[in-house]
């Protein structure tokens, strides 16, 4: 078994191309020439492996899938056009109309929108629960529940749920645990080691690491037995009419990921969120330096969080390393190498100070992304989480005064000085308003 750093650079089957490239090429093609009528028929019927159309796969994408599966210890992976589509396709493949999802409260705002708005229109309901309360998870599970969903590190509060406890509850209920590992990445946490069954990523974020390319990934860890209760999973255990009545679980099982065969040939194929070959290669390049970037960002984030925690103009810092944070023990146990570069804080002057702080920053780009090589700032309640109600914000653990930071690779002292200056300017402005 190779080390993680080696897998980041060399994971996946070698790419054999006519000109012997050292770096995986971008296969910029929509379709593929079949060697014969018989080969075309067999590939479409899933009797033979091969590329049939770039909506469902591409050689550049295939290497990315192999590499992330290797890093996570999974059996297979599927690339999609974005992290949002990765979450959606994973859940659609698990839950048919009438199905139900139980999800942790600290999810990204777009995922909450998917669960509470879009999926119900498709006949799939969801219950959001306090992710730190095991009894809340158990109480929310229904006969139709088909997945538990949680983020390994929350956005924007750096919440670290007890994955092992949630995994035990999922196993008791006989449903897979889906973990969004976007912030942590395999460099900081491998969900398979804590009982997860399926992992999803926005590869746009830390995996790509440079803010250039959208992409999503679903990893099947091969740990869930869909054949144990076949009546719950008819999409996998009954004949699949579109490919000649094949029973996917019988033909592909865990080892060849019947789950992802379904996700690819039905949901990715029909809805069309294809990962472009160019973006796949950009993400592959990002993964090559993943551990170096994420570890440095984690270290800098911890340093900045400590500084802000002691700052007189900061009311609260949401980072597991600061004294009194409720996730300190879970972070020490699950994430000994750091909790990534994403965390948030609330200014002492409240929500009114937020615009002044955000606009005064010069080393933080105001952008709706995380995991970038450059530091970013955003105000979640008016942007990324703007659709959440006050009650949902409270359940997620933050307020309308919360400012999210995504720490990049700049010199830590420069970032700290920038934050100090912005806080001071916003405070002076607030005092001037009061005096006037």
Domains of the chain, CATH where assigned:
7-286 (3.40.640.10), 291-435 (3.90.1150.10)
pLDDT of residue 251: 94
The C-alpha atoms of residue 63 and residue 87 are separated, in whole angstroms, by: 21
Q: How far is CA 421 from the centre of its chain?
A: 33
Is the distance from CB of 27 to CB of 58 less than 8 angstroms? yes
32: closest CA among 43, 24, 21?
Answer: 43
- pLDDT of 67 reads 97
Instruction: For residue 156, say if its preceding peptide bond is cis, omega within 30 degrees of 0.
Output: yes
What pLDDT score does 244 carry?
77
**Distance between CA 81 and CA 103 in Å, rounded?**
23
Q: Which secondary structure element, helix H or strand E, spans residue 417, and what is its range?
A: helix 412-435
pLDDT of residue 270: 94
Over the chain (436 residues), the average pLDDT of each successive run of 10 is 90 80 91 93 87 90 97 98 98 96 91 94 96 97 98 95 98 98 98 98 98 97 98 96 88 96 95 96 98 98 98 98 96 97 96 96 97 97 84 82 97 98 92 66
What lies within 8 Å, CB to CB, of 78 at 6+ separation is 65, 86, 89, 217, 218, 260, 263, 264, 268
Taking every pair of C-alpha atoms in the chain, what is the biggest distance, in angstroms?
82
pLDDT value, residue 50: 87
Rounded distance between C-alpha atoms, residue 22 and residue 20, angstroms:
6
What pLDDT, in 10s, does the model give residues 75-125?
999 999 999 999 999 999 999 999 999 999 889 888 999 999 999 999 999
What predicted TM-score, i.e. pTM, was given to this entire model?
0.95
Torsion of CA 110, 112, 116, 122, to 10 degrees: 50
Residue 122 near residue 141, CB atoms below 8 Å = no
Amino acid 290: pLDDT: 98
- For residue 240, give the nearest of 77, 45, 66, 37 by alpha carbon: 45
pLDDT value of position 298: 98
């Amino acid at each position: 078994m190779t080390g993680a750093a080696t897998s980041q650079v060399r994971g996946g089957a070698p790419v054999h191309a006519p000109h012997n490239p050292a770096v995986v090429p971008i296969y910029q093609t929509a379709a593929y020439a079949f060697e014969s009528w018989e080969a075309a028929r067999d590939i479409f019927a899933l009797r033979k492996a091969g590329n049939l159309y770039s909506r469902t796969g591409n050689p550049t994408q295939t290497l990315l899938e192999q590499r992330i599966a290797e890093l996570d210890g999974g059996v297979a992976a599927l690339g999609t056009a974005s992290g949002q589509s990765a979450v959606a396709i994973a859940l659609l493949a698990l839950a048919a109309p009438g199905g139900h999802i139980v999800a942790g409260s600290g999810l990204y705002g777009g995922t909450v929108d998917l669960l509470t708005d879009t999926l119900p229109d498709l006949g799939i309901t969801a219950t959001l629960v306090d992710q730190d309360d095991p009894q809340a998870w158990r109480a929310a599970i229904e006969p139709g529940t088909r997945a538990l969903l949680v983020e390994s590190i929350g956005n924007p509060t750096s919440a670290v749920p007890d994955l092992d406890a949630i995994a035990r509850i999922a196993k008791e209920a006989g449903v897979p645990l889906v973990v969004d590992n976007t912030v942590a990445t395999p460099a900081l946490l491998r969900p398979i080691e804590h009982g997860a069954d399926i992992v999803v990523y926005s590869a746009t974020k830390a995996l790509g690491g440079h803010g250039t390319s959208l992409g999503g990934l679903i990893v099947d860890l091969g740990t869930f037995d869909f054949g144990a209760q076949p009546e719950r999973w008819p999409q996998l255990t009954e004949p699949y009419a579109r490919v000649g009545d094949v029973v996917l679980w019988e033909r592909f099982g865990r080892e060849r990921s019947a789950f992802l065969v379904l996700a690819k040939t039905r949901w990715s194929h029909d809805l069309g969120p294809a990962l472009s070959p160019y973006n796949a290669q950009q993400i592959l390049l990002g993964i090559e330096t993943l551990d170096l970037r994420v570890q440095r960002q984690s270290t800098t984030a911890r340093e900045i969080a400590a500084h802000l925690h002691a700052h007189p103009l900061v009311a609260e810092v949401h980072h597991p390393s600061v004294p009194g944070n409720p996730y300190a023990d879970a972070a020490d146990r699950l994430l000994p190498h750091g909790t990534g570069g994403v965390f948030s804080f609330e200014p002492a002057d409240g929500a009114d100070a937020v615009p002044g702080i955000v606009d005064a920053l010069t080393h933080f780009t105001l952008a709706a992304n995380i995991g970038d090589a450059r530091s970013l700032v955003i105000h979640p309640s008016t942007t990324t989480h703007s659709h959440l109600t006050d009650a949902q914000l409270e359940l997620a653990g933050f307020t309308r005064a919360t400012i999210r930071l995504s720490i990049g690779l700049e010199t830590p002292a420069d970032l700290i000085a920038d934050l100090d200056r912005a806080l001071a300017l916003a405070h002076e402005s607030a005092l001037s308003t009061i005096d006037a």
